[in-house]
Amino acid sequence: MWDDWIAEASAAREAAGLTRRLRPRGPDDGVVDLAGNDYLGLSAHPDVRRAAAKAAMLWGGGAGASRLVTGTLTLHGDLEDELADWLGQPGALTFSTGYHANLSIVGALADRTAHVVSDAHIHASLIDAVRLSRAQLTVVPHNDVDAVRAALAARPGVRTLVLAESVYSVLGDEAPLTDLAEACAEHGALLVVDEAHGVGVHGPGLVHRRGLAGRPDVLVTATLSKSLGSQGGAVLGPRAVLDHLVNTARPFIFDTGLAPASAAAALAAARISRARPDLSDTIRARVTGLAQTLGVPAPAGAVLSVPMPSPEAAVAAQANLLAEGVRVGCFRPPSVPDGVSRLRVTAGAGVTDEDWDRAVKAIDVIVGDVR
């Protein structure tokens, strides 16, 4: 019974051009990598590598326990203080992934009696978080503040969370954070902003840049695995909210603390990021230039999405680029909220100007052939 069921699912995926395969890569395969999320190129920075290695030697390979048992290290405190200070927040709490951070904030604040208003393009981790919370859910069209206001007005007096990403991962556009925060304030709702693609690419993130950091009704989640070149996640906001998470968030309580090497790497990367605003300037210049070359809108973040006519065309273009020594990503259903397959090109600061220029030429030719 199970064999048939799995074989049928596999055949359906194959027929739709949606089969995914893992493609292991070596540490340095000579390919220009424009597929990853290491936006500032800090994962390979010597200070980041050294910090990770030193922490592993000092603390060992893992935190050894969940945070409430013996898995809270002074290193976690150092990282949390640094992140809070950088992002202009009263406090921070770190998690073993950004996924856990999102599951935790929604799960700890929302239950069956709460209402969640979610943008239609929100990340899978937040979708899963709402499902686990069993909260009443209203999905609003992408970046539609009027729809958010209407959803808030429809359930007066109900504890409500509004979920947004500062920079959307697939579309690459920016949320109207100021308007969303205003709508939330009018209705006593909390705004939760996932800054996975904002922090680092926009220095301390867009919540900070829009003057919303430190507001008690605007909470931030972040990942340590993209611009910070490490692994892990964080929730930032008022101490009372963080204490509530420590006491109630199951993905925090029942999970081993962030590994020392990851915490130390993220801490080193945050310090470099703060000292090197030129890295985010490089991203802006590259992403704008590439968008012009391809005739698509420039995104707010580091990732350019290039719509393709079909999943097969996207996969073929990706393979042709790899043959030219350029690795790009590929979004296909079910990873795209609107069903449109796309190439995903990261305009990171981690590649040399020479490699970047070569990659842009290859992308221009190969994408031009297909579209």
Ligand X SMILES: Cc1ncc(COP(=O)(O)O)c(C=O)c1O
The phi, psi pair for 175, rounded to 5°, reads: -80, 150
Residue number with CB closer to ligand X (340 or 360)? 340
Beta carbons within 10 angstroms of residue 277's beta carbon: 9
Residue 43 contacts ligand X per CB under 6 A: no
Q: Which of 104, 138, 143, 169 binds ligand X (CB under 6 A)?
A: 169
Asked if 190 and 217 count as a contact pair (C-beta separation under 8 A), the reply is yes
* Residues 265-324 close enough to bind ligand X by CB under 6 A: none
Question: Could you say whether residue 194 binds ligand X (CB under 6 A)?
Answer: yes
Q: Which residues contact 233 (CB under 8 A, 6 or more apart)?
A: 94, 95, 96, 97, 98, 99, 100, 101, 102, 221, 222, 223, 224, 225
Q: In the complex with ligand X, which residue's Cβ is closer, 222 or 308?
A: 222
Candidates 149, 148, 129; CA nearest to 139 is: 148
By CB under 6 A, residue 38 contacts ligand X:
no
Instruction: Return the half-sphere exposure (C-beta side, CA atoms, 13 A cut-off) of residue 33.
Output: 16
State yes or no: residue 202 binds ligand X (CB under 6 A). no
Check residue 118 for interaction with ligand X (CB under 6 A): no
**Min dist. Cβ of residue 321 to ligand X (A):** 22
User: Minimum CB separation from ligand X for residue 308, in Å?
Assistant: 20
Give the Cα separation of 11 and 22 in Å (integer): 18
Nearest to ligand X of 55, 171 (CB atom)? 171
Which residue carries 């051009």 as its tokens?
Answer: 17
Instruction: Report the residue number, 171 or 183, with the smaller CB distance to ligand X.
Output: 171
- 262 forms part of the interface with ligand X (CB under 6 A): no
Asked if 98 interacts with ligand X (CB under 6 A), we say: yes
- Work out how close the CB of 300 gets to ligand X at its nearest, in angstroms, rounded to a whole number: 13
Select from 39, 59, 99, 252 the one that contacts ligand X (CB under 6 A).
Answer: 99
Smallest distance from the beta carbon of 228 to ligand X, in angstroms?
A: 10
Contact letters (x/-) for ligand X, 221-260, by CB under 6 A? Answer: --x-x-------x---------------------------
The yes or no reply on residue 356 touching ligand X (CB under 6 A) is no
- The contact set with ligand X (CB under 6 A) reads 97-99, 102, 123, 125, 165, 169, 194, 196, 223, 225, 233
